[in-house]
Structure formats: structure tokens, C-alpha cells
Structure 1
Amino acid sequence: MAINYSKLFNRRATPQSQAIPGSGQVRNSAGGYSWEVTDWQRLDRFLILGAEGGTYYIGERDLVKQNHDAIIRCIKENGARVVDRIVEISDSGRAPKNDPAIFALALVTTHGDVAAKTKAFANLSKVCRIGTHLFHFAGYVNAMRGWGRGLRNAVGNWYNAQEPRELALQAIKYQQRDGWSHGDLLRLAHPKEVSREHAAIFRWMLSGQDELGERTVKRKVNCAERTATYAAVGELPALIQAFEQAKAAKGKGEILKLITESNLPREAVPTEWLNDAEVWDALLQKMPMTAMIRNLGKMTSVGLLKPMSAAAKLVVAKLSDQTALKRARVHPMAVLIAEKIYAQGRGDKGSLSWSPVQPIIDALDEAFYATFSNVEPCGKPVLLALDVSGSMGMAKIAGSCLSAREASAAMSLITAATEPDYVIVGFSAAANGHGGQWGGGEPGITPVNISPKMRLAEVVKEIEKIPMGGTDCALPMVWARRQKVNVSGFVTYTDSETWAGNIHPSQALRNYRDQFAADAKAVVVGMTSNDFTIADPKDRGMLDVVGFDTTAPAVIADFIRSD
């Protein structure tokens, strides 16, 4: 019997369990074949998505190790470029969490050349903007290297570069994290104070905090601990004095006066007063945006936020201030998580519960859209394809309570809210490829009845109705060709762990182009920080972007719109 060579070497329709001949594809974690992203692409994925929690196929430790190795290769190639990218993504608030950027910066200070290390130290304050960030950085570098002069100077400059009022706020708001205190860092860095006020704050950090028992863990460092003493000059800022008075306050009136007159943050208020609605009302008046979003459940549980209350109206007004949202670097995922938790009326941890106030839920929903960069519609028909396979249900975005499945649906709503002509579908494959979802019905495609007018809880319910199956990222293109749907852009939200189909996504796209639209484009929105993409790097009509990057929707629209 003659061999049918076209079945063995077919560049137009290759099963995903095999590599496209001559393509350079690699085996992915699910057993299928995809393209390997470059180390620089992986750097972006890590900076925005992190590796917390791992994925369905890759454990957290292995995923961190893979990203760690890719980042080091980038540092060895061009450490200064790595620093620029870290600062760009961190300083603009494009990532849900800042920890990946801090970790990557610590890697540069360890593995970079002299120029790269110098640049990393010079940009420390742009990445580590608050005390908690600095403590995380100290923990990372302490595990990687010793405390040389460059590192000590960088940490010392972090303290001296801040105005006394801001430094005082850092001192009382972020007193200790991960076993590190400001006193620990001052002893290691031993900065020369730039003013009498700085000297007074340093002295308080070194002695006042320790004597008051704020530092409970003694951090061992891999170098000789240095002593730091500062002359008894300069008066403590009013904020620190108010903090000390609050700890000794006997009545609520004293606490309210200190909050109102000295603008004490929540962290400076003794715990026994944090179940009082009046205290929270005083805090709310000047509460920073991120702190307010994080404490909505608590303020509702103590009775401050109620329907038609002045406090609820103030919260809604603050959430509606788009300028303030952007200035505070509020990431859309932070709003999304807050909306999900607040609407369910209980925290994911602990026993705290409350009755949600509907206008606040509505305001959070509107704030979600406002936190993305301005998007100009592409004005062309777009198919938004959500990978609802099993692996997407297991992976968590940046270690949050949101699965990649839920997050991709939320991200698709940004494009849906912008574009006049779109359709949203969910896809997963039965074991037999395109034979149907669980043996019957549509070929792995389920139209998703969601719109930007729906709340997140409603969207999640619709997504949860779709059965999970294997991953076949070619299904959207195959379905569009079979249904004769005119599409200018396919936007696929996936982890690229595709394996179940009889044709690769890039091949299905070319077949669609041949039959319907020669200029049809495809955007792959990577929802995990793994090593794979279904976007053919040699196809100029395919693009790989990072999920939950605040600039992603604008990049997607611009790519589909452009010639």
C-alpha cells in the first residue's frame, strides 16, 4: 500500500499533537506544540502576571524558576534594557502587583554588570515607592547577595530623597513587613541624614519603634550589622507625634481629633478603635484610593456605608474620579477583585461579612473600565474568543482569587465596550478534536451571552455554564470559517497550552484568510507567564500581548486597525 506523504508532512493542517513541519515549534506543557516566546516576551509576562500560584500544568516553584532563568538571560544580554522595562511597567501601574518588578530589580542588582547595577540602584525609588516595597526588595537581595556599598547607598538615598512629611508617613504606615523594619535597613545602610528632620525620624525609627515593641522579628543578614546613631537634633514631625498620642489615647474624641487634624492613616489607629463607624468616617474623608477600595467591606460591616448614606455617596464620588484613579495607579484587577468580594458580602478569608450597597457595586464596575488606558475602537468586526478549558479554570491571575477563565472574560468586556461590531465565544474541545463538545452540539464553540452592561458576577455565572474540556485554540478560526462569519480580528484569551485539535491555530487562520478575509489578524492574549504562544512569530498578522496589561486593549485595537 502506497504511503500518503501529504498526511505525514502537511503544512496546511497538522494535528496539534505534532509540530508544524519546519516551524520551529516546541512541545508545550500540555503535550501539544506551540511556539516558545522569547526571553524578553517572558520578562513582560512575568512583570505583569507574575508566577504566584503556578498554572494547571506548571507548579509555582517551577514557574518561578523558569521565569528567573529567562530574566537572568535578559540581564546578561542587556541589563540596562531590563531596568528600563521594569521601571516602565512598574512606574506606570500596568501590572496587578508590584512584587514581580521588585524581584526582577533585585536580580539585576545581583547578576547585572556594573552599568546595569548602577542603573538599578538609581531607579530603586521608582520601583519601590512605599516602605512595603522596600522591605520586599531587602528580603530578595538579602537572599541573593551581600550588602555592598552600592546597595547601602541606594537604600540610604531612598530615605533621604523623601520629604520629612512623606518619610514620617512611611515610618508609621509601613512599620514592618516580612521580618524587616526601617530600623533594620538604617542599621545596614547607615545613611548620612540630609536635614535635622531626617535625623529625628531616623533616630525614632532606630530607637522609638524598637522600644515600643513594633519590631518583633530580628532579621539576620549575611553581612556584619552596622550601627547607626543620630544626634538628638530636630523635632519629630507632627504626624509621628500624633501617632504616639494615639497609642496613649483614652477616649474616642482624642482619636477623632488626631485623625482629623493630623490625617492619621488607618495603620496608625490602635486596633481597638477600628470597629467604630465614627472612626472610619473620619478616616474615609482623606483616605487614599487604594486603601478605600481595600476597606469597603470593613466600612460596610461596621455600619458606615449604608444605602443613601453620606459616606456611601462619598465613596461613589471618589470611585467616579477617573483622574484620581489613574493618579493612584489603581490597577483594573484590584477593582475587579474588590467588586467580586464586595458584591458577595464576605471576605475570601476570615469571618467578616456585610450587606453590599448597590451604588458602590455599580461605581466599582464603572471604575473597572476607567482604569484601562483610553482605547480608540478599531471599527472592524472582532471575534473575542475565551479559552474555557480546564487549565484556564485552575490558573490564578497574579495569585489572586480570579481564575484566568474569569479574568479573560472581564478583559474581553473592555474591547466589547469599545467596539461596535463584536461577538464573544467560549471554546474548549472534546477528546476527538472538532467532533463536538462532549460528543455533540456545536464543534467546541459556545456563544457567550455577556455584554459590558452586565456586572462581573453575572459574567462569571455565564462563563461557569460552559463545560470545560481540552484546549484547542484553532476552534475560533475553524468555527468562523464554517459559519461564514466575517471577522477582521480574532482576539484569543488563552494560556496557549493547546493540544486537542486536528489543525494548528496559525494554519486555521491561514485557511480562513484564503476563504474570507486575506487581511484577517489574530491577537493572542497570554493569561499566564508560561513559555508558550500560539502566535506564529513569522506571521506579521499575528500578535502576542500580555493579559491584564492596562495598555493591552489599546494595543489590540491599534493592531487590528492598522494596515
Structure 2
Amino acid sequence: MFDFTQHVATRLRRLASGVAGTTPQAEPIPGSTQVPNSAGGFAWAVDQWTRLDRFLILGSEGGTFHVGERALTRESATAALACIAEDGPRAVARVVEISAAGRAARNDPALFVLALAAAADDVETRAAALAALPRVARTGTHLFHFLQYLKAFRGWGRGVRTAVGRWYTQRGARDLAYQVMKYQARDGWSHRDALRLAHPAPPSATHDLLFRYAVKGWADASTRRENVETDVVERIEAMHAIRTMTPADAARVIRIYGLTREMVPTELLTDAVVWAALLEGMPLTALVRNLGVMSRVGLLAPESDATRAVVARLGDVEAIRRARVHPMALLAASKTYAQGHGMRSAGRWVPVPAIVDALDAAFYLAFGNVPSTGKRLMLALDVSGSMAAPVHGLPYLSCREASAAMALVTVATEPSCRTVAFTNGTYPSLHSAIGYNTGLTPLALSARQRLDDVVARTAALPFGGTDCALPMIEARKHRWAVDAFVVYTDSETWAGAVHPAQALRAYRERMGIAAKLVVVAMASNGFSIADPDDAGMLDVVGFDTATPHVIADFVA
């Protein structure tokens, strides 16, 4: 007979070579709902709500290895619009949930989707989006980003004017003064522009002064001081006064009035005494961004008081939670600080080991207390060429580096955890013999390793085609007992003689273990290698602070 099943099969079969295989990943599984991915393989399309989550958490900046930024953004926006059309209030609630919890490394995608919802045809959706503005646009910079996005979708109607007006009027006078002084202009927008378009009625004399200051300048506003909070006036005057002061005098004023870096003239920011004053009240996110410059000016040095203060703040889990410092921001800061120079600037510094260690520890703290499942896990990291693409919004941190760091969170909590990387098989590896340049390389990750070491080791691994079925194939071949396989990938895969879902089912049959598969999506695309009809497979979003907890719950 002619064996048609050598080309078409829905169950895994055993080939003469001893390698398991059925439908190649470059072809769809017969009878399935798989679609072509961007790399020439086939995977399942995720639904629009999953795609929305991926965009809110991952963004689309820089695109992916296979999809350009423009195309990826348009695809993501199409999915967001579909969600808004289906259930606008639900989409807005999702935006608020992810943004307010600090689950994304950048807030821009949330502001973009909120602007889309604010321009929706549905009245209820528009109202929900505009009502949510203060919870998503928490700073002046966020507000200006939102207004720039909104300009592309609609004009300034009554609803927008009211919402922007509330953003200013519902803040306390001291908070509003901080916003006006620190976040003066972004994206071609300023407080002057927003206030002139919104025309809010000031709820107090101090608000009136701040509105006038933002629109007409201090010379006009300072003439109206009746019933105005004195400390607000003094703070603004101090910001203007330090422009002509010596560094020592400016430092004293900074301490008295709690001025921030943005309120200090650039020429004063080369002096350690000024940075010492700024450090005392510096927000945690600003502290992480300015570690390099504080080291360069000599403020941060081994055993210095400033270094001890920084280490203590980076070890404060409650402060990290309140500041919404994202783990990927800490990872990017750790990579940059440890190398001793910025990615764009020529400035150099000598890294302080205690601060490198503190950044390392803060990365784990930012995920919160991840529970141990006590299960047997196998983690597989995609380190293919496509994963060399940068993390959206963090252009100097690759997806392969970030995935290794995320895997460390699980390694640190699970006592039984085997880790491998998809490579080209040129290293001593558990490579497959299916004719593709693919393989697995054992990756010895330890909870005791530092992030910078793991990032460097991962970056040195050889690229190769990614066969996401290999963890299940090798575990089946060697009879490794695995309760859950966790694959970190962009799902842009094609190399392999069997689909991962088929390989997982074959592993379950051979081993008698109801093994699960978790696919951690490392790109904001629309694909997954997890079968949506299999309750033992789960698709989650990478770089989400909630991901390690979701994985632990699912595996347990």
C-alpha cells in the first residue's frame, strides 16, 4: 500500500530513525486551526484579548525580527480596536488593571489603547476611557503622551476638555505644583497647551496661581498671592533662584524645598554635592535611571554613605511596589550599570559591586513573593536569531537576555528545575537528528547566579533554528520525569518534524504523566505554539510581573 500517513497524521508516530515525528512545523496539523506565522511555520492564532494583553505589556516598539514596527503596531491596534468594539468598558478596565499594577515595563501602550477607547463610537466606552485618565496618566509626561495619541483619533470635544480639566483640578495643590514643575513639556505638548484647550476652573487660589504660572509664566502668576499656599510659592521661587547659585548653595535649597533633577539647571548636574542633595528625596525610578551619572561624579563609591543609602532603597520591597518599578527596567539598569558606560552617551563610570548586587536582588523583589510548586519543571529558552531582537521599549536589552532573567525567577523558587536553550547544536548538546540545524544545549542556571552573568552567558550561546518540540522529545527519549515544560519563545518557529503540541501528547502517553506546557510569549505578535483546545497548555505574556505567579498557579 501507499503509506499516506507518512505525510499526514494527527497522532505521533515513530520513524525508523528513532526520532519522533508527524506533521512538520512548516505545515499545519491536519484538522487543526493553525495559521502561518511570520517565520514560515504554523502555530495557533491567539484571540484578540490575548493580543491586547501582549500589546499592553510588551508594546510594539522596534517590531520583531520578522515583523517591522509599523506592521506590528497596526496589527496590535487592530486587535485593540476589535476588543473595544466587542466590549469597550472591559477593554478600558484591562488597560487600567495592567497600568495601575505596574505590570508593563512602559506605560505608553496603555495610554495608546486608552486614546483609542476615548475615540470610540460607543458613548459608554468613551466615558469609561476618559474617566480612567487619571489612573492611567499618573504624571504630566503620561498626560502629554495621551494627548499626542488622542490627536490622531479625535478632536477636543466637551468630554476631552472635562477629563483633562479634572486631571488638573482633582489634584491637591502640592501635587499639581510638583507635576507642573517636574514635567514641563513632552512630545510637543506642555501644560500651557493642555490648560488653554481644557479651560478648567481653578478650585482654589493656589490652583489659579499654578494655572497662570503654566500658561503665562512666573512673572504674571507671582503677582497673585492672596490666599495662596505659601510653600507652593516658595518652592517655585526656589526652583528659579538656584539657576544663579553655587553648587553648595543650590544643594541646600534642593534639600529644603525637595527639588528634583528636572528642576535643576544642567550646569549644576556635574557636581557630587548637588546629586547628594537630590538623592535624599529622589523617586526610586529616577534613582535607578541615574546610578551611572551618580557614580561618574563620584557620589557613589565603595563603602560611601550614598552607596549604603542606595542599596537600602533597592532592597525595600514595599518601596519597589509603590513606585511600580518594573523588573525589566531593573534588568536594563543592571546591564547598563555593570558595563560601566551608557548605551548612547560617552559617559563612563566604575561600577560599585554593592550596587550591582542590589540591582540583582531588586529584580527578584519586583516580582513579589513567587511560590514554589514543588513540581518537576523543564525550562526551555529560545535563543534564536529572532530572539536577538530588542525588548519593545528597551532597545538595548534583547529578548533572549530578558527571557533568561525571567527564567531565573522560576529557578530561584523551584527545587527541581532543568534548564535548556534552543541552539544550533554545535555545542555538546542533546541535538535532534531531523535534518535541521537545531538542538538543545543544557543551561546551568542557579539561583545564586547574578543577572549580569546570566545575561552574558545567554548572549554567547550559538544561534540556531528553534524546534520547540525538542524539550518534550528529549524528555521522552531519556525518560525524564517532567510535570511541566515552560518554553520562552516568540512563537516565530518553523524548524522541526513534529509540532510541540503533538510531542507533548506523545510524552504524556509514554510517561503516564499529565505533563503541562506553558508558553511564555516574548513578542507582541498573534501566535502561540500552545493548543488552545488543550486544557494542559497555557499561553502567558512575557515580561509581565504577574507571569511567574500565573505559571506557578497553573503548574500547581
TM-score (norm 2): 0.94
The structural deviation recorded for 1:270 is 1.1
Which residue pairs with 1:374 in the alignment? 369
1:81 equivalent to 2:90? Answer yes
The structural deviation recorded for 1:210 is 10
**C-alpha separation between the residues in 1 aligned to 2:41 and 2:205?**
64
Which residue pairs with 2:16 in the alignment? none
The structural deviation recorded for 1:408 is 0.6
**C-alpha separation between the residues in 2 aligned to 1:375 and 1:294?**
26
User: Which of 233, 236, 240 matches 1:237?
Assistant: 233
User: Which of 171, 174, 177 matches 2:183?
Assistant: 174
1:510 equivalent to 2:505? Answer yes
Task: Kindly report which structure 2 residues correspond to 1:104-503, keeping only aligned pairs within 5 A, or say none.
Answer: 104-208=113-217, 234-235=227-228, 237-247=233-243, 249-428=244-423, 434-435=432-433, 444-503=439-498
Which residue pairs with 2:5 in the alignment? 6
Inter-CA distance 22–211: structure 2 relative to 1 (3 Å threshold): farther
Cα RMSD, aligned residues only:
1.9
Which residue pairs with 1:219 in the alignment? none
Kept in 1: contact 2:434–2:496 (CA 8 A) = no
What per-residue deviation string (whole Å, max 9, x for no partner) do you get for residues 118-152 of structure 1? 01111101000000000000101112111000001
Kept in 2: contact 1:477–1:509 (CA 8 A) = yes
User: Which of 533, 542, 547 matches 1:538?
Assistant: 533
**C-alpha separation between the residues in 2 aligned to 1:361 and 1:553?**
23
The structural deviation recorded for 1:285 is 1.0
**C-alpha separation between the residues in 1 aligned to 2:529 and 2:377?**
18
Which residue pairs with 1:226 in the alignment? none
Segment of structure 1 superposing worse, 516-525 or 551-560: 516-525
The structural deviation recorded for 1:373 is 2.9
Inter-CA distance 93–112: structure 2 relative to 1 (3 Å threshold): farther
Corresponding letter in the other structure for 2:233? P
The structural deviation recorded for 1:458 is 1.3
Q: Point out where structure 1 has 5 or more consecutive residues left out of the alignment.
A: 213-229
What per-residue deviation string (whole Å, max 9, x for no partner) do you get for residues 492-528 of structure 1? 0000112110000000000000011431001000000
The structural deviation recorded for 1:452 is 2.1
**C-alpha separation between the residues in 2 aligned to 1:276 and 1:518?**
63
Segment of structure 1 superposing worse, 235-244 or 161-170: 235-244
Kept in 2: contact 1:37–1:532 (CA 8 A) = yes
Corresponding letter in the other structure for 2:88? G
Corresponding letter in the other structure for 2:46? V
Paired residues, number: 538
Which residue pairs with 2:18 in the alignment? none
Segment of structure 1 superposing worse, 346-355 or 6-15: 6-15
Corresponding letter in the other structure for 2:185? Q
The structural deviation recorded for 1:115 is 0.5
**C-alpha separation between the residues in 2 aligned to 1:172 and 1:296?**
23
Kept in 1: contact 2:425–2:441 (CA 8 A) = no
**C-alpha separation between the residues in 2 aligned to 1:395 and 1:174?**
28
Kept in 2: contact 1:199–1:234 (CA 8 A) = no
**C-alpha separation between the residues in 2 aligned to 1:74 and 1:179?**
30
Which residue pairs with 1:102 in the alignment? 111
Corresponding letter in the other structure for 2:386? S
The structural deviation recorded for 1:49 is 0.3
The structural deviation recorded for 1:240 is 1.5
Kept in 2: contact 1:428–1:472 (CA 8 A) = no
What per-residue deviation string (whole Å, max 9, x for no partner) do you get for residues 379-398 of structure 1? 01100100111111124343
Corresponding letter in the other structure for 1:416? V
The structural deviation recorded for 1:437 is 9.4
**C-alpha separation between the residues in 2 aligned to 1:181 and 1:455?**
42
Inter-CA distance 390–253: structure 2 relative to 1 (3 Å threshold): closer
Inter-CA distance 190–233: structure 2 relative to 1 (3 Å threshold): farther
The structural deviation recorded for 1:483 is 1.7
**C-alpha separation between the residues in 2 aligned to 1:475 and 1:364?**
34
Kept in 1: contact 2:248–2:274 (CA 8 A) = no
Kept in 2: contact 1:200–1:233 (CA 8 A) = no
**C-alpha separation between the residues in 2 aligned to 1:436 and 1:6?**
18
Corresponding letter in the other structure for 1:381? R
Q: Point out where structure 2 has 5 or more consecutive residues left out of the alignment.
A: 12-21
The structural deviation recorded for 1:286 is 1.3
Kept in 2: contact 1:387–1:471 (CA 8 A) = yes
**C-alpha separation between the residues in 1 aligned to 2:179 and 2:147?**
16
**C-alpha separation between the residues in 2 aligned to 1:437 and 1:194?**
73
**C-alpha separation between the residues in 2 aligned to 1:99 and 1:159?**
20
SS of 1:425's equivalent in the other structure is strand
The structural deviation recorded for 1:338 is 0.6
Kept in 1: contact 2:9–2:30 (CA 8 A) = yes
Inter-CA distance 424–266: structure 2 relative to 1 (3 Å threshold): same
1:39 equivalent to 2:48? Answer yes
SS of 2:144's equivalent in the other structure is helix
Corresponding letter in the other structure for 1:287? M
**C-alpha separation between the residues in 2 aligned to 1:270 and 1:396?**
32
TM-score (norm 1): 0.93
**C-alpha separation between the residues in 1 aligned to 2:220 and 2:489?**
52
What per-residue deviation string (whole Å, max 9, x for no partner) do you get for residues 46-100 of structure 1? 0000000100100000000000111001100000000000000000000000000
The structural deviation recorded for 1:232 is 7.3
Kept in 2: contact 1:87–1:126 (CA 8 A) = yes
